[in-house]
Amino acid sequence: MEEALDELPKRVMGAVRRLLRPLARLMIRHGITLPAIVELFKQVMVDVAIHDFPVEGKRTTDSRISVLTGVHRKDVKRFREMGFQRNDVPKRVSVGVQLVNAWMTAPGWQDEQGHPLVLPRDSKVEGERDFDMLSNEISSDVRPRAILDELLRVGVVALEDDRVRLVTEAFVPTQSEGEKLYYFEQAGYAHLMAGVRNLEGQEPPYFDRVVQYHSIPPEALPAIRDLLEEQGMALLKEINRQASAAKDPEAPDRRLLAVGLYYYDEPARDDQP
């Protein structure tokens, strides 16, 4: 048993090593070098130690944080004084997500089959719902034309004969890497945190499953991807509808909810576990 316990940190380090590979690829691609990431990781370690590992009835001192994290006390003090940066939602992403979500789930914006309506851009018929009306319901600070231009830019809507059609029933930017990074951050954080909490003994455990094979011929992959996009998207849309109907910003005990499906393939290697 002792030997198994001694072995566990090594296995944790092995798992972390593999999880760091895609992050190292992202950082190298964007010119982020080791000193910058070391400084960032120190900040994150201190932040997590303060907020996730308090001792009941005792003050979380710089010395205790230093012992927990291995970060020098002077750095702990510096980070506490400067504060910890939080990532804001890019405004374009925020407005776009809310509009697409309302188009898919809010009463009155879908047809009898539950599909998002094709909307006139600016209807002249009294009482007819149009894109400008939907935009104004979401934000009075951003002009409907500006929102439409942004959704056209990222390929989420199409403009046909002055009517706006939702092309993709999810707001996923296709051009701006800054916006893609926002979704990468949200999905990656939620998936990793679910796994970590399950390792800690979360009860009931979070649903976290993966189907993995190392010998799939390339010609078999398109059918699997199509299956995921069809059935996976249907499941996510239904979860979205239920979550949208249940949300309550005034609830006394609000919870963050994240549900995701993912697909990935790469050349198989003999050294993979």
What number of other Cβ atoms are within 10 A of residue 267's Cβ?
Answer: 6
For residue 117, what pLDDT is reported?
92
Residue 236 near residue 259 (C-beta atoms within 8 A): yes
Cα distances (Å, whole numbers) of residue 48 to 3, 54, 159, 184, 228: 29, 10, 46, 21, 35
What's the mean per-residue pLDDT of the chain? 86
Q: Per residue in 87-107, pLDDT tens?
A: 666 655 668 778 888 898 888
* φ and ψ of 34, to 5 deg: -55, -45
Q: Which residue in this structure is represented by tokens 């109907």?
A: 245
Q: Select the more confidently predicted residue: 178 or 181.
A: 181
**SS3 for 119?**
strand
Residue 79 near residue 60 (C-beta atoms within 8 A): no
**Residue 76: pLDDT above 60?**
yes
Q: Per residue in 39-73, pLDDT tens?
A: 999 999 999 999 999 888 888 899 999 999 999 99
Contact partners, residue 139, CB within 8 Å, separation at least 6: 95, 98, 147
Planar angle of CA 76, 188, 166, nearest 5 degrees? 135
Q: Residue 163 belongs to what H/E stretch?
A: strand 163-166
**Residue 182: pLDDT above 70?**
yes
**SS3 for 93?**
helix
* φ and ψ of 165, to 5 deg: -120, 135
Q: Per residue in 239-273, pLDDT tens?
A: 988 988 888 888 899 999 999 988 899 898 776 65
Contact partners, residue 134, CB within 8 Å, separation at least 6: 99, 102, 103, 109, 119
**Amino acid at position 58, single letter:** K
b/e code 125-162 from CB counts within 10 Å (16+ = b): eeeeebbbbbbeebbeebebeebbebbeebebbeeeee
- Domain ranges in the chain are 91-166
